[in-house]
Structure 1
Amino acid sequence: MGIVQRQGLRNTVISYLGLVLGFVSTTLVLPRFFAPGQLGVTTTLASVATLLAQVAAFGFASVGIRFFPYFRNRENGHHGFLPFLLGVPLLGFVAVAALFWLGKPVLLGFYEADVAALGPYYAWGIVFALFTLLYSLLDAYLKALYHTAFSSFLQDIVLRLLILGGALLFAQGLLSFHGYVLWFIGANGLLVLVLTGYLLRIGELHWRPQRAVLAVRPVRELFSVGAFTLFSSLAGSIIMYIDTLMVGSQVNLAAAGIYAIAFNISTALAIPARSLNKIAFPLLADYWKEQNLSGMADFYRRTTRLNALIGCLLALGIALNLPFIYSLMRAEYAQGTLVVLLLLGSRLFDGITGLNGLILITSPRYRFDLVFNVSLSLLIIGLNLLLIPRLGMVGAAVAAVAAQVSINLARTWFVWHSFGMQPFTWQIPLILLITTAAGVAGWLVPTLASPLLTMLLRSTVITAVYGGLALATGAAPEAGALLQKLRRR
């Protein structure tokens, strides 16, 4: 357990530092230096590379983590597991890259208004996808070896610092935009080289293929699990990236860049829920193992209340301080204000509906999670096709809200119907009323000459009203108990 605890602690520190660095980078720094159309190019390339890499990988990253214990034998090179883990996805990548290249006229046709901006980087998208694929496979191999902290450090800290460095070089005129795009792609390639060197240093770079790898576990089983994982991960990526891609193709790359920044601003609301989910995942697995459904139901309600309590306060802080946030960027990005508000609503509802997804995926009926994710991705695509031509990037945000609310309601009902547990208590509507009161109080704060002072004053009023009402009404019993304990001390 020693290595697991050490790696877990390091990952926690790295994760939080990476979240802060990522928010500062993608939300506050890059929009100061780059025009919306330029960020639209890099965002589109990253989205395409991720989707291509996931299709080519055929779920083998997850397969590697799940089945590696059967192959583990360091003296024997783990029966040739690493060449097998890399070889199958690389064969798939050749096929995917060939189809992507042959489809160039069709795919660029979707970006008719921005072919001149995106066309020169089409081939580089294949290179980017290769780097993304190799990194994901090597990262999975290291996770299976219980070496997770170094790859997290590279992905969450080093890569973001490299991107920031490239942006500063661009701002100083030392890099052209074309040079920055190549820097952006090359930074991902550098991570693959560093990760390979790390494997060599710890003595786990076993390149020699072995026929024994085909006999340890049935190959059919590996591909079956890989196919299931492929559809699940691909659905997740579509949910994450399809909005930006469709805004770019149906409106223009500038709108895609504005939408991407609005999306990044809204992700701040998801940070507490993600942190809580990391803790909740193993706890839910234990509840299922012990068949302690009453304990799980209580945990479900308490975490839902906590997500709602934190999420509503953060949503207020972000929504009412958007003028300050956008004052730190180029003026064009403020066109995404309504998009941010809609996406905040979507993420807030996702948090309030609780842990339904994690409960489902850790349950005996885990395969239904794939049904919900595929349904969500198809619903988002369909609504985007319907709404983006009519409303532009706002249509994509409306589609995201409608799809997320619909699927979360369906998933919450499914958990209730299947396992007899639902996340809502009387405190949830109370928290929403408190949010409304604090929101009105914050909105009534006059706008001062300084956006920074306005933000500080408004945030103070929101926090005081929200926190005071939450404690006075019993909407936050854990916080009340903690306050009483501090008073006694």
Structure 2
Amino acid sequence: MGIVVRQSIKSVAVTLGGALLGALIAVLSTRFFPQDQFGFRETLIKASTWVTYLANFGFGAALVINAQKYPPGHPSRPTFLTLTALIPFAISLLTCAAFFILYPFIDDFYSPADAAYVKEFFPLFPILTLLCSGILWMEGYLQSLHKTALQSFGREILARIIYITLILLFGFHVINFSGFLWLYVIFYLVPFLFLIIMAKRSGGFAFGYEKHLFSVKEIKEIIRFAGYHMLTEASTVLIATVDVFIMGMLLGFDKVAIYGIATLAVSLLRNPTRMIGKAAIPTFTKSYNNGDLKGLRELYQRSSLNMQIIAVAMFALVYINIDNIQEIMALIKGGYNEIKPLIMILMVGQLFDMVSGFNYELIGLTKYYRFNFWIAIWLLAFVLLLDYFMIKSNGLLGAAWAVTIGLIAFNIAKSWFLWKKMKLQPFAIATLKIFAIGAVAGIISWILPYMFNAFIDGIIRSSVFGLLFWYLLFITKVSSEVNEITHNIIHKRRLY
């Protein structure tokens, strides 16, 4: 558990830094971009992100899980890395070429004004997809080595610093919108090269091919395993992004901009728990492969408990500051009045997703990994229908409710399956204590009088909540990790 805690702390620290940069991106984007340009940018990013999971063909997940069998120094490792790199690279090229099949149908999906954006910048979709596929593979490699903090730095810090720089250049008219988009895509090379350098420094990053080391049957099994993960990941990501695609077609890119700010705010709060999951997967895999189900159960429950602490804290921080968020958005730029209800609805689904633990990750590394695919497919069909009809009838709020309902259904199904097959579940008596502590700290922080302005009020209100929440966790001894970190800070002046 020690390495998971260390990597989780490092990754969460990096991710929180990235969250601050992400918040700055949201502010600057709202201030400088017209809503139609902002909405198209969000569509470009989300569409390329989704296709990336098809292009990578699940080999990021295959690396994380199967690389445990071929650690640095293992004679089969260079051949394994070569296979898991060349296959997704070839598939990525084919996937990017397939983009151009859709070009003749653009006018059928979008309004004339929005279709003009898609046509003008159409080449960026396959280029961004190819670069993101390479980054996804490198992230999987570093994750397999328990280097999640380095992986996070490339995505959460380095890429966002570049992003902010480009937004400022656009905002001060140094570059136009076309220049911004092209530079944004090209500069994805920077985090990609950074991850390669970090991988080479970590050892074991060597390629080669010896035919006799892997039989055709073993190669097929790796591809089959990766393929199931690709379908699962692509379906899961599409569940979270299909609302934006449908919204762009039904409502236009200007509405995508409003919804994009809300989803960005929610995703920034979701990222710390995602990093804990990535840090835990290699250790989960090792325990499962060694048949240590008792150790796996303990690790799963402790990791889930820590995830629940962060989930409740993030949820409460959003709700006690929701009026401040709306006020700040109004100061930055008008036309974003729907942000408050959108964030409140989306956070309900995210809270349910986060407190349900790492059920998706754990199922994915067991012999039951196919379940993730089938449940994702069924849920995707459900969410597609729900999104279409709810967006048509209720606009942006309908999209938010569709995502929230989908997340709740998804996690109920996964938690039920994990309990049925492995007698594992993320909840304990401590879960109730965490919710109670969050409620007490949240209510006390919420009833504080408004102070000066939205910025100062947000800082004071959040600080009161954070200190009170941590203190109550410490004195109730809900989490051994919280108490250990607190003890280390007080007595050793370090986190771990």
1:476 has 2:471 as partner: no
Shift of 1:143: 7.0
Decide whether the 8 Å contact of 1:36 with 1:333 is kept in 2: no
C-alpha distance in 1 between matches for 2:298 and 2:449: 42
Q: Where does residue 380 of structure 1 map in the other structure? A: 383
Q: Where does residue 106 of structure 1 map in the other structure? A: 105
Q: Which amino acid aligns with 1:252?
A: G
1:46 has 2:45 as partner: yes
Q: Where does residue 353 of structure 1 map in the other structure? A: 356
1:389 has 2:392 as partner: yes
C-alpha distance in 2 between matches for 1:426 and 1:204: 43
Q: Where does residue 165 of structure 1 map in the other structure? A: 165
CA gap of 1:80–1:114, structure 2 versus 1, over 3 A, is: same
- Post-superposition Cα deviations, 1:117-160, rounded to whole Å, max 9, x if no partner, equal 33311222222223323444466567789998876654443322
Moved more, 42-51 or 355-364: 355-364
Decide whether the 8 Å contact of 1:81 with 1:213 is kept in 2: no
Shift of 1:264: 1.7
Q: Where does residue 320 of structure 1 map in the other structure? A: 320
C-alpha distance in 2 between matches for 1:70 and 1:477: 34
Residues 291-306 of structure 1: matches in 2 within 5 Å? 293=293, 296-297=296-297, 300-306=300-306
Shift of 1:262: 1.0
- Post-superposition Cα deviations, 1:423-452, rounded to whole Å, max 9, x if no partner, equal 333444454455445444444333344112
Q: Which amino acid aligns with 1:109?
A: D
Shift of 1:408: 1.1
C-alpha distance in 2 between matches for 1:390 and 1:53: 31
Moved more, 342-351 or 19-28: 19-28
Taking structure 2 as the reference length, what is the TM-score of the superposition?
Answer: 0.79
- Post-superposition Cα deviations, 1:222-249, rounded to whole Å, max 9, x if no partner, equal 4323322321221232134323222222
CA gap of 1:28–1:96, structure 2 versus 1, over 3 A, is: same
Of the candidates 392, 400, 403, which is equivalent to residue 400 of structure 1? 403
1:249 alignment partner, SS class: helix
Q: Which amino acid aligns with 1:56?
A: A
- How large is the Cα RMSD of the aligned pairs? 4.4
1:129 has 2:132 as partner: no
Moved more, 299-308 or 450-459: 299-308
Q: Where does residue 448 of structure 2 map in the other structure? A: 445
Q: Where does residue 27 of structure 2 map in the other structure? A: 28
Q: Which amino acid aligns with 1:409?
A: I
C-alpha distance in 1 between matches for 2:383 and 2:398: 11
Q: Which amino acid aligns with 2:118?
A: L
Decide whether the 8 Å contact of 2:301 with 2:426 is kept in 1: yes
Q: Where does residue 59 of structure 1 map in the other structure? A: 58
CA gap of 1:243–1:194, structure 2 versus 1, over 3 A, is: same
Decide whether the 8 Å contact of 2:445 with 2:465 is kept in 1: yes
- Post-superposition Cα deviations, 1:355-394, rounded to whole Å, max 9, x if no partner, equal 3333323444233222233333333222211211111121
Q: Which amino acid aligns with 1:459?
A: S
Moved more, 255-264 or 89-98: 89-98
Q: Which amino acid aligns with 1:242?
A: V
CA gap of 1:13–1:306, structure 2 versus 1, over 3 A, is: closer
C-alpha distance in 2 between matches for 1:272 and 1:331: 30
Shift of 1:175: 0.9
Decide whether the 8 Å contact of 2:14 with 2:149 is kept in 1: no
1:332 alignment partner, SS class: coil
CA gap of 1:137–1:268, structure 2 versus 1, over 3 A, is: closer
Shift of 1:258: 1.8
Identity of aligned residues (%): 21
C-alpha distance in 1 between matches for 2:198 and 2:491: 51
Q: Which amino acid aligns with 1:47?
A: K
Decide whether the 8 Å contact of 2:11 with 2:152 is kept in 1: no
Where does structure 2 lack aligned partners over 5 or more consecutive residues? none
Decide whether the 8 Å contact of 2:55 with 2:92 is kept in 1: yes
Where does structure 1 lack aligned partners over 5 or more consecutive residues? none
- Post-superposition Cα deviations, 1:9-31, rounded to whole Å, max 9, x if no partner, equal 99748843663454234333333
Decide whether the 8 Å contact of 1:71 with 1:79 is kept in 2: no
C-alpha distance in 1 between matches for 2:358 and 2:202: 38
CA gap of 1:352–1:170, structure 2 versus 1, over 3 A, is: same
Shift of 1:70: 7.2
Decide whether the 8 Å contact of 1:70 with 1:216 is kept in 2: no
C-alpha distance in 1 between matches for 2:305 and 2:342: 26
Query: Number of residues paired by the alignment?
Result: 481
Shift of 1:167: 0.8
1:178 has 2:178 as partner: yes
Moved more, 170-179 or 27-36: 27-36
Shift of 1:73: 9.5
CA gap of 1:206–1:109, structure 2 versus 1, over 3 A, is: farther
C-alpha distance in 2 between matches for 1:75 and 1:465: 53
Taking structure 1 as the reference length, what is the TM-score of the superposition?
Answer: 0.80
- Post-superposition Cα deviations, 1:390-423, rounded to whole Å, max 9, x if no partner, equal 1112111101111111121122222222233433
- Post-superposition Cα deviations, 1:174-227, rounded to whole Å, max 9, x if no partner, equal 0111211111112124555677789999999999x97x5597431533432332
